[in-house]
Amino acid sequence: METLESAFDATRALVFGGGGGGDVVGAVPTARFLERHGVDVLLGGVPWERFVVDPTVGPRSFDELTSVDRINDAVAVADGETRTHDGVEFAETRVARHYDEDVALVNVSGGAAGLAAGLDDACRRLDVDLVVGTDSGGDVLAAGDEDGLRSPLIDAVVLAALTRLDVDACLGVFGHGSDGELTPAEVDDGIARAARRDGFLGAWGLTPSVVAELDDLLADVTTEASRLPVEAARGALGETEIRDGDRTVSLSPSSAVTFYLDPSAVAATSGLASHVRGTESLDAAHEALGRAGYETELDYERRRLRES
């Protein structure tokens, strides 16, 4: 894709929140944007909840789920009854129930190479000709030297996978630092690095109708990174705390905008994506980042499990 308008030529798009948890909510504005230009959309997300929601380490495999239509090892279709055998509901389950429609689950357990192959296969089976991975907050833009980086694994895998797809792919960044990992200046720098490689495809902000829709959805789905842009759209500015005071987020009008970027242009300056691009399992991706000196969300969850 050379420009965002190219997306309007798609027949059907898979639009998924790539960061796990409530990132599926942050994918909704992009879904509505495409639908209003005549594109059929399958909304989705990654079934990896925060440790406080699901104390099982790592993402859940499809073998652990009930009420799910498995396409392959990387993509399945969930409904409002989908949950783990031990009763954990995903944000995607609540989104499916809220809209009374199916939602895609995108599993990152196959690493970047496995995810890319699974997405391409699912696109053929589901007649999808465009994949948009969205990130709430923008830590997917990290070069790798940012002090606040806390969850580099899932973002690196998703970003690297998007660069390998046979179908058209796009990266959406929603919330402009709303997850508290990258500062607004670091998010700006990531967008600028992509733009200098002709990777800036366009942007679209929240409208009153989408804000109202997200208000209803957020009554059913708990998320901070995807909720704060809604507050920014209503004029909230300045610093606010998230994660029980563990992180600080600075809200601005930019928080209400989704920026669309060429995944390859973003990955070109991401040391994180380069480390995981050829991996065929999440463990391999985790180990590759570990060798490069990064602590990942898997490290955090394993530590929490040992301490519990």
pLDDT confidence bin for 243, thresholds 50/70/90:
confident
Nearest-angstrom CA–CA distance, 276 and 222: 30
Cβ 155 vs Cβ 19: under 8 Å = yes
Nearest-angstrom CA–CA distance, 78 and 83: 9
| pLDDT for 244 beyond 80 | no
Q: Supply the pTM of this predicted model.
A: 0.97
Region 232-236: mean pLDDT is 96
pLDDT confidence bin for 52, thresholds 50/70/90:
confident
Angle at 141 between CA 137 and CA 147, to 5 degrees: 80
Quick one: pLDDT at residue 51? 85
Decide the pairing of beta strands 12-17 and 40-45: parallel
Tokens of 241: 């705390």
Tokens of 128: 């999808």
Mean pLDDT for the chain?
Answer: 96
Tokens of 160: 């690297």
Helix axes 152-162, 282-291, angle to 10 degrees: 110
pLDDT per position as a tens digit, 175-214: 999 999 999 999 999 999 999 999 999 999 999 999 999 9
pLDDT per position as a tens digit, 249-260: 999 999 999 999
pLDDT per position as a tens digit, 102-144: 999 999 999 999 999 999 999 999 999 999 999 999 999 999 9
Cβ 178 vs Cβ 136: under 8 Å = yes
Quick one: pLDDT at residue 155? 97
Cβ 265 vs Cβ 197: under 8 Å = yes
Residue 187 amino acid letter: V
Greater model confidence, 308 or 152 = 152
Cβ 236 vs Cβ 175: under 8 Å = no
For residue 149, give the DSSP letter. -
Quick one: pLDDT at residue 298? 94
| pLDDT for 48 beyond 90 | yes
CATH number of domain containing 166: 3.40.50
Q: What percent of the chain has pLDDT over 70?
A: 100
Cβ 203 vs Cβ 215: under 8 Å = no
Quick one: pLDDT at residue 9? 97
Q: Position of tokens 């180990």?
A: 287
Length of the chain: 308
Nearest-angstrom CA–CA distance, 282 and 113: 10
Burial group, residue 286, by CB count within 10 angstroms (0-12, 13-18, 19+): buried
Query: Range of 60's domain?
Result: 4-307
Cβ 216 vs Cβ 146: under 8 Å = no
Quick one: pLDDT at residue 271? 86
DSSP code per residue over 106-130? E--TTHHHHHHHHHHHHHHHHT--E
Number of domains the chain is built from: 1
